[in-house]
Amino acid sequence: MFFAPASITCFFTPEFGKSHAETGSYGVGITLDKGVRAKPADRLIFNGEEIDFPTVKYVLNALKGKGVEIEADFPLGCGFGISGASALATAFVVAEEKHLSMPYYRLADLAHEAEVVNRTGLGDVVCQIHGGVVARLKPGCPSKADVEKFLWKLKLDVVVIGPLSTRDILESAKFSIGKECLKEFMRKPSVENLFIQSKRFAVETGLAEDVMDVIEAVESCGGMASMVMLGNAVFALNGYEALKEFGKPIRVGISSCGVKALDF
């Protein structure tokens, strides 16, 4: 069994290169201590149900795997990188089951490729193999991306309001402001500045319109908050009580490591 962490993208700018390996994003992501657990199976199961999951199917087909059973702590499509984490965990499960001698980064690159092909993410896997708060300074697959990692010990509060279509937003929205947010964050890499730049990105892209009341509720109680990219969800620091008004909050920590094997 393998665990792959979920992640929160704070802000990003897509970069569509000439190949899957050159495609990715600039930005900052937070690796969480919750995510997905995957183990071998004879079919594709996600949280107890057979579903159509093209990103995971891509990995299974590439490695000639039969199936995988995935248990996830967050729903799909809500901005927590569950597609990337599922693809990543699946790659390691199949490689171990079939005794494939494939390097760590090759498996990670495959999971990234699966995301790019299916338009379910452009940088989640890069974040998820490193752990911590990950600044993606050069876009691309995990083996080519240039990152800086910050090992901050934080407890964040998150609330899921609903899903957003990553594919539709990637094809329609403009995210050039993400590069400027990254630049400003790297000038002063701090927790406060991360929230400042994240909120700026959410507001200036127009994506935060439906969650501004949630963000403002947290801020009115002395916390900091922003929108999870790309999902109808909010992450906050010191916002648990305020978030209760909008759903059932979950408290999560930051994972210092990426994908890892678990004992049954």
The pTM of this model reads: 0.94
The count of domains in the chain is 1
Collapsed DSSP state (helix, strand, coil) of residue 61 = helix
Give me the mean pLDDT over the 59-73 stretch. 97
Across residues 181-193, what is the average pLDDT?
98
pLDDT at site 244: 97
The answer to whether the beta carbons of residues 98 and 90 sit under 8 Å apart is no
Indicate whether 172 pLDDT > 70: no
| Residue 12 pLDDT greater than 80, yes or no | yes
* 8-state DSSP, 254: B
Which tens digits make up the pLDDT trace of 241-259?
A: 999 999 999 999 999 989 9
Q: Can you read off the two tokens belonging to residue 224?
A: 């900091």
Q: How confident is the model at residue 164 (pLDDT cuts 50, 70, 90)?
A: low
Domain limits for position 145: 1-264
Q: If you search the block for the tokens 């909120």, which residue do you land on?
A: 199
Please check the confidence at residue 167 and state whether its pLDDT lies above 70: no
Q: What is the pLDDT of residue 194?
A: 98
Q: What percent of the chain stands above pLDDT 70?
A: 95
Give residue 39's identity as a one-letter amino acid code: K
Q: Average pLDDT of 206-232?
A: 94
CATH value at residue 84: 3.30.230.120
